[in-house]
Structure formats: C-alpha cells, structure tokens
A and B are shown apart, each in its own frame.
Chain A
Amino acid sequence: MSLDLSKLVGQIIDLAASLKSKEGERKAKLEFALKTVKSSAADMNGLKQKVEASKSTWLVAGPKESIDLGQTAPGCPDDFIVLASDGSHIDVDRHQSAHCFLINIGIAQLQYGRGPDAQLLNFPSLYFKDGEVAITSDDGRQLPIEGQLLGIKRSIEECRWLTERVNELSADLPLVALLDGSLILWRLAEQVYPDFVIRELLIDGFLKYLTRLREISRRRPLVVASYISFPRSTEVVNLLRLAICPHLPVDCDRYCSGKFEGRECDVVGGLLDRDLFARLLTPGQRSALFSSRSSVVVKYYGANEVNLFYIRLDGEVARVEVPLWVAENEKLVGLVHSTIWDQCRRGLGYPVALSEAHEQAVVNVADREQFWRLVNQILVEDGIFLESSAKSESKRARWI
C-alpha cells in the first residue's frame, strides 16, 4: 500500500501555520542577535576572555577573528587542482546469509587553468574477513562494524583514499583536497565507545590521515577542507548566548540549572549559525574563523584542531572546516575560500568536485539489490549453502 497523502494534507497545512506563527518571533531574535554581533565585535578581547572563563553547557565556537568579519574571496590561482572524495556503503544485512559490508569511494580530480583535465574514479571494497568486520581490542573484546560505526568507518576510508590520491599527484600545482561533511567525527562523541574503538577509528585512523596530509603540505602547496551544505550548527549563536549572559563568569549549571526557557540567553535561542551569516555576509564572503571547542576535538585532535568558517553562496550559507595548520596560514585560508566559492559557482551552488565524487560513489536501491543478487549467485555457483530470512524473501517477492 502506498502512502495515503490525502490523510496527510490537513496535518501539512497545520505544519505550515505553525511555522508561520513562529516567523515574527524568529525575526525579532535574529535582529537582536545581529545587534549582539556588532556590540561583541567592538570588544573582541572581552568576548574571548568571557569564553575562556566560562563554564558553559553550550557548545561554543572559539572566535579567532572579529565575529562581524565579512571577507571577500581572493582570486583563484591560474592553475590548480581540486580533489574530492565521497563515499557510500551497503551495510551488513542480517537477513542475508553472507556477513559482509561494502564501501564505495568516489574520487573526482578536476584540474583548471591552462591544462584542464578530469579524472573520475571509484573504488568499491568488500569487507568480510574476521579482522575487517569487527574492531577487536588487545584483550579480545569485539565490536561489530555496522550501522553507525560503519558510517564512521566510511568517513575514515574517504579520508584515506583522499590522502593516497594527494600523495600520488605531482607536486607542481596548488591542490585543494575536499571532504564531504564534517572533519569532526561527531558520531564518535555522541555515543560512549570503548577506548580501543576510539584508538582504531580516530587516533590510528582519521587523525593519522589528517596528519599525513599535513606532512605532505610541507612539500607541496596543499589545503584540506570539508564542506557542509545547509549546516544546522549553532556554535556561533551559542557564542552570542555567552555574550548576552549577565553572569560573570558564565556558569550555566550554577545560575540556570534545570531551566530550559526564560533564561537571558534564550533571546537568541532557536537560531542557527546560518541564519546569522545569511544576513552578515554578501555572496562570496566568508565569516570570521572560529575554532571548534567540541569535546572530541579538544581531547583527541591536537595539531589537527578543527577550525571553521561560514561562506555565503548564491543560494545558501555553507560551513567549511579546516585543520589548524590551514587556519593559521592566511594564504591557505584564502585558497580554500576562493576555491570553494569558485567550485560552487561552477557547480550550480554546490562544489562540483564533491558533486562528481558523490556521483562516483553513490549506491542506489537498484545497485544494492543487484549487489546482493550477485553475492548470492556467486555463492551458489561455488556450492555454498545459503540461508536467508523469510522476511527478506517476503520483501523480494511481494504477493497478495
């Protein structure tokens, strides 16, 4: 039975009315937030000290430049390469007899300038060996890689393939290496994972590749950045909450414990960072640089500390994250800024290299079905007895 949309029309009308009723309140909050940006920018040292001294429960961005900054993009180099990596996966299917998962990495390498060229590549890998489908601790504990953990594993593989490709390229042209999504492995922070998982995925995985990229950057012009379209983050709005807070030093647990509304800082509550920067920036401009103060970054990232800025595009505000070694070099920040702006204009609002990497990586529903069919076919040809669940069979052969 397909979804009965006629039963939903009334509820969708209610949704629209609810959004409309909140619009006036949101506008007032935004105006107040913009005034706070201006007043805070006038005393950046004061704001930085307030942040440092605070004991806030909010995740607050660390300001590195004046927070009302609107920096115009410099020009792109005459010749440069944009390299992007993206991935998709087929998760372990417990209704299938073969315990395995697939990660498909797409790479787009676009060269601009006097020798335009493109390489579009994909690298599908099947994981099925005991050591591949679970993370094992020294004392033999195991955590299977599936679901959320597989999503993290995929991010690491995206970074690994990007690093390998960067390493293979000749070192003559400026190279911008892009990842899709965040450099912060939020999902590792959201759940409490054992130390051996953090070590394998983050320290010996993602951060190892970021460090490798930093090393390569010493011998060739290279920047690394990740791009988040339509971000829902609120770290800069939370910074305004601190600016607004009348208590010194800010201590949420002490002054506002148990309160979820009516706090002084709630005058900007509900706003997103992108709401602010859609008003503060003109198309092509970037915001100030901020450092991420998220616990996973502070605890593990070290020299790869994640810094970020927002960029206003023609259609949206995007978030760009860079490691500390890029953020500390004005020229490298300029290269990321100009390239992202240029890529979005070439790509109808989204970086064209990321879009093509995605196209190389994407695994659609038909691909998934074909993949499992091929797995089963080859297993049968090899005379391997197969069991699959009745539920899986029922979904495949729909009957009345």
Chain B
Amino acid sequence: MDKVSKIGEVIEASSAEFTAQCYKLEQAPPLGSLVKTQDKLGDIYGVIYNVETHSLEPGRRVVARGENLEAEEEIFKANPQLSRLLTTDFRVLVVGHVEGKSWHHYLPPKPASIHSFVYTCQLEEVRAFTRSLDFLSLIVNARIPVPVDEVIGACLRYASQAHQDPNAFLVKAGKELAFMLSTDVQRLNSLLKRLK
C-alpha cells in the first residue's frame, strides 16, 4: 500500500465498474483494496470486489497436473506454458473520481477507458480518499455476484490501515453503516462483525 505500482489494464468498463487484467498471474491486490485508473479527465477510483484466475481461452479448461509432484511450484516449472495460458482478472466497483484537484465520491461522467492502466494507491491517497465515507453507499447498494458485505468489510479493514487510528476509523465507518442500514438491523449486525 505504501507505493504506487502499475498492476494491470482495463479490459472491460462500464459507468459503475470495470474489469482489469493483471500483468502477473495471481498478483492482484487483495479484496477490498482501493485502485485507480488514470484518464484524460482525471483519476477514477474503485474497490476490488472479485479476483479470478482462469484460462485465457474460454474453450480450454485447466486440468490437474501435480499428482506425482512434491510441491505446487513444480507444476509451473514442469509446464512453463501455463503462465502464458492463464490470466488473473480483477473486477472493480467504481467509487469515486478526481476532477482537477477535487475528490468526488460518486460515479465519474465517463467510464474508465479500455486499456487504461490500473495502479495501486499509496497510503496517503487511501487516507485522503476515505476521509469521507460517502462512497460506501455505492458499495452497499451494488448488485454484484459476490457477497457485497464481504467486500464492504474487506474495504474498511483495508482502509483503516491507512489511518493513524484504525479503530477510530472503523468506529466512524460503523456509525455511517448504522445510518445507512437503519432499517436492516440483521444485515448491520453481520456487517459490523466483519469490521473487527
């Protein structure tokens, strides 16, 4: 989290989310991380909500290869082509953008450009972005194919590490969630347990 690194490239994009292909196999940032793309209009920020490693070609299934091998690394050593045939993609929920010097915790006017580079964010950037928790509503209300509360929990735990007092940050985030989910106590309780 302490330095910016280029980790992948946008291969699918819509207003609310984008998919990026990782340059290195299984080297996606963790679930809930804040990442950004850089565009002519400004930076677009998003939270990783799903990471998937699969065959590059839809018709080719990955098969088990290690029955007679001692260690998992040996599979890649004995089959060097695998690193060229597999890919790691991660899907990102767009949670804000920067226009000029202003931070906005809502969707940008245009989606991320295809092939735009995706970068990890520095601690300072994460701290600055998560000073306001307005972006949480974009995640809480997202319809995504993974349990959304897992993503919220992972995102807040991750962001808390960027703040001087992580617990204070989590308490603040808990209060924000309580406000947003006041009509759904069961979900709120389950979510708060994920902030520990």
Contact = CB atoms under 8 A, between A and B. Distances in A.
A116 B60 contact: no
A117 B80 contact: yes
Given A348-B63, A359-B57, A359-B60, A110 B81 contact: yes
B57 to A, nearest CB: 7
A356 B78 contact: no
A111 B80 contact: yes
B57 A118 contact: no
Contact of B83 (A111, A118, A348, A359): A118
Nearest to A353: B81
Nearest to A121: B84
Interface in A90-130: 108, 110-112, 116-120
A119 B85 CA distance: 10
Given A348-B63, A359-B57, A359-B60, A116 B76 contact: yes
Contacts of B80: 110-112, 116-118
Contacts of A119: 84
Nearest to A364: B59
A111 B76 CA distance: 12
B111 to A, nearest CB: 26
A116 B84 contact: no
Interface residues of A, number: 14
B196 interface: no
A352 interface: yes
Interface in B50-77: 57, 60, 63, 76-77
B183 interface: no
Given A359-B57, A359-B60, A346 B78 contact: yes
B79 interface: yes
A112 B78 contact: yes
- How would you classify the secondary structure of chain A's contact residues: helix, strand, loop or mixed? strand
B84 A120 contact: yes
Contacts of B84: 118-120
Contacts of B83: 118
Contacts of B79: 346, 352
Contacts of B81: 108, 110, 118, 120, 352, 356
Contacts of B63: 348
Interface in A63-96: none
Contact of B77 (A116, A348, A356): A116
A110 B83 CA distance: 11
A112 B78 CA distance: 7
Contacts of B78: 112, 116, 346
A119 B76 CA distance: 14
Interface string A345-368: 010100010001001000000000
A112 B74 CA distance: 11
A356 B79 CA distance: 11
A120 B85 CA distance: 9
A356 B57 CA distance: 12
Contacts of A112: 78, 80
A111 B81 CA distance: 9
A116 B83 CA distance: 10
Contacts of A356: 81, 85
B166 to A, nearest CB: 42
Nearest to B60: A359
Contacts of A111: 80
Question: Could you say which of A108, A110, A112, A116 has the most chain B C-beta atoms within 10 Å of its C-beta?
Answer: A116
Contacts of A348: 63
A279 to B, nearest CB: 27
Interface string A128-157: 000000000000000000000000000000
Interface string B82-112: 1111000000000000000000000000000
A110 B80 CA distance: 7
Nearest to A356: B81
Contacts of B85: 120, 356
Nearest to B63: A348
A352 B81 CA distance: 9
Q: Chain B CB within 10 Å — which of A111, A118, A119 has the most?
A: A118
Interface in A346-394: 346, 348, 352, 356, 359
15 contacts: A110-B81, A112-B78, A112-B80, A116-B76, A116-B80, A117-B80, A118-B80, A118-B81, A118-B84, A120-B84, A120-B85, A346-B78, A352-B81, A356-B81, A359-B60
Interface of A: 108, 110-112, 116-120, 346, 348, 352, 356, 359
Given A108-B81, A118-B82, A119-B84, 12 more contacts: A112-B78, A112-B80, A116-B80, A117-B80, A120-B84, A120-B85, A346-B78, A346-B79, A348-B63, A352-B79, A356-B85, A359-B60
In the complex, the 4 A-B pairs of residues with the closest C-beta atoms, listed nearest first: A116-B80, A118-B80, A118-B81, A120-B84
Interface of B: 57, 60, 63, 76-85
